[in-house]
Amino acid sequence: MTLRDRIERGLARLVAASTAERFAISLAALFASILVGTVLILAAGRITGCSTATFVLTHPTPFGLSRLFEVGFCYNPVTVYDRLFLGALGDPLSSGWDPFGRQMALTLRETTVLLFAGLGVAVAFRAGIFNIGAQGQLVVGSLASVLAVLQVAPLVGGVLGTAVSLSVGLAAGALAGGLYAAIPGVLKSYVDANEVITTIMLNFIATGVVGYLVLNHVKDPESFATQTRTIPDHANVPTILFEPTANFSVLALGVGVLLVGGVYYLLAHTAFGYDLRTSGLQPEAAEYGGVNSKRTIVASFGLSGALAGIGGAVYALMILGKFQTGVPSYGFDGITVSILAGNNPLGVGFAAFLFGVLKSGAGVVNFATDVPPQLVDTLRGLIILFVAMPEFFRLLGGRMKGVTRRVNRDESGGETDG
Amino acid sequence: MGERLAAVRQRVAPSGRAQTAALIGGVAALALVIVGGTLFPETILGVLLSTLVREPTAESALRLAVPITLAALGGIFAEKSGVINIGLEGLLIISAFVAVWMTDVTGNLLVGFAFGVVASTLLTLLFAVVCIEFRADQIIAGLAIWLIALGLAPFMSQVIYGGPNTESVGTVPTLTKLFGFLPPAGTLPQRLVAPTIGVGPIDALSGVLASVLTRPPLYLADVLLDASLSVYLMGLMVLLSWLVLYRTRFGRWVRASGENPKALDTAGVSVSRVRYQAVLLSGVLAGMGGSALALSIGQFTGNGPTMVNGKGFIAIVTYLFGNYNPVGAFLSSLLFAGLDAMQVGLQTAGTGIPSSLVRVIPFVMVIIVLALVGRTRIPGAAGEHYESGEDR
The pLDDT tens digits of the residues spanning A74-104 come to: 888 888 999 898 888 888 887 777 778 888 8
Instruction: Yes or no: say if B322 and B329 are a contact pair by the CB < 8 Å rule.
Output: yes
Nearest-CA distance from A159 to chain B in Å? 39
**How many other CB atoms sit within 10 Å of the CB of residue A36?**
17
**How many other CB atoms sit within 10 Å of the CB of residue A410?**
9
Nearest-CA distance from A95 to chain B in Å? 34
Nearest-CA distance from B95 to chain A in Å? 16
Say if the Cβ atoms of A378 and B354 lie within 8 Å. Answer: no
**Of B3 and B334, more confident:** B334
Instruction: Work out the average pLDDT over A261-266.
Output: 94
From A122, A159, A102, select the one nearest A262 (Cα to Cα): A122
Say which residues have a Cβ less than 8 Å from residue B306's Cβ, sequence separation at least 6: B93, B96, B150, B153, B154, B300
**Res B352 pLDDT > 90:** no
Say if the Cβ atoms of A191 and B374 lie within 8 Å. Answer: yes
Q: What's residue A14's pLDDT?
A: 53
**Which residue of chain B is at minimal alpha-carbon distance from A216?**
B354
Residue A257 confidence class, pLDDT cut points 50, 70, 90: very high
Nearest to B140 among A48, A193, A388 (CB): A388
Domain segments of chain A as ranges:
21-76+369-403, 103-366
Instruction: Yes or no: say if B232 and B177 are a contact pair by the CB < 8 Å rule.
Output: no
Task: Give the alpha-carbon dihedral of A323, A328, A334, A340, to 10 degrees.
Answer: -160
Show residues of chain A in contact with B156, CB under 8 Å: 44, 47
Q: What's residue A12's pLDDT?
A: 61
Nearest-CA distance from A384 to chain B in Å? 5
Show residues of chain B in contact with A29, CB under 8 Å: none
Best B9, B148, B343, B373 residue to mutate vs chain A (most A CBs within 10 Å)? B148
Q: What's residue A7's pLDDT?
A: 61
Nearest to B144 among A192, A381, A406 (CB): A381
From A23, A260, A2, A326, select the one nearest A120 (Cα to Cα): A260
d(CA B56, CA B63): 10
Instruction: Work out the average pLDDT over A234-249.
Output: 79
Show residues of chain A in contact with B356, CB under 8 Å: 208-209, 211-212, 215
Say if the Cβ atoms of A284 and B155 lie within 8 Å. Answer: no
Instruction: Work out the average pLDDT over A35-64.
Output: 82
Say if the Cβ atoms of A194 and B3 lie within 8 Å. Answer: no
Show residues of chain A in contact with B160, CB under 8 Å: 47-48
Say if the Cβ atoms of B360 and A284 lie within 8 Å. Answer: no
Nearest to B3 among A282, A374, A378 (CB): A282
Best B363, B368, B377, B386 residue to mutate vs chain A (most A CBs within 10 Å)? B363
A343 DSSP β-pair partners: none
Look up the pTM and report it: 0.85
Nearest to B160 among A48, A335, A380 (CB): A48
Q: What's residue A278's pLDDT?
A: 84
3-state secondary structure (DSSP) of residue B174: strand
Least confident of A114-118, A407-411, B185-189: A407-411
B287 DSSP β-pair partners: none
Instruction: Yes or no: say if B132 and B274 are a contact pair by the CB < 8 Å rule.
Output: no
3-state secondary structure (DSSP) of residue B267: coil
In chain B, the domains with their CATH numbers are 2-174+227-372 (1.10.3470), 175-226 (no CATH)
d(CA B135, CA B127): 11
Say which residues have a Cβ less than 8 Å from residue A60's Cβ, sequence separation at least 6: none
Nearest-CA distance from B310 to chain A in Å? 8
Say if the Cβ atoms of A284 and B7 lie within 8 Å. Answer: yes
ipTM exceeding the 0.85 mark: no
From A208, A389, A346, select the one nearest B358 (Cα to Cα): A208
Least confident of A8-22, B36-50, B230-244, B330-344: A8-22
Instruction: Work out the average pLDDT over A120-138.
Output: 93
**Of A413 and B77, more confident:** B77
Say if the Cβ atoms of A379 and B151 lie within 8 Å. Answer: yes
Helix axis angle, A102-126 to A330-340, nearest 10°: 70
- Please, what is the average pLDDT of chain B? 83
Nearest-CA distance from A309 to chain B in Å? 21
Residue A411 confidence class, pLDDT cut points 50, 70, 90: very low
DSSP A229-244: PPPPGGGSPPP-SS-G
Instruction: Give the best-scoring range by mean pLDDT among A63-67, A240-244, B128-132, B198-202.
Output: B128-132
**Which residue of chain B is at minimal alpha-carbon distance from A132?**
B143
Say if the Cβ atoms of B313 and A201 lie within 8 Å. Answer: yes
- Please, what is the average pLDDT of chain A? 85
Start-end of H helices in A315-344? 330-340
Q: What is the 3-state secondary structure (H, E, C) of B275-315?
A: HHHHHHHHHHHHHHHHHHHHHHHCCCECCCCCCCCCHHHHH
Say if the Cβ atoms of B1 and A388 lie within 8 Å. Answer: no
Burial code of A342-380, b = ≥16 C-beta within 10 A, e = fewer? Answer: bbbbebbbebbbbbbbbbbbbbbbbeebbbbbbbbbbbb
Say if the Cβ atoms of A416 and B364 lie within 8 Å. Answer: no
Show residues of chain B in contact with A40, CB under 8 Å: 152, 155
Q: Write the class of the CATH domain A103-366.
A: mainly alpha
Could you give the percent of chain A with pLDDT greater than 70?
91
Residue B112 confidence class, pLDDT cut points 50, 70, 90: very high
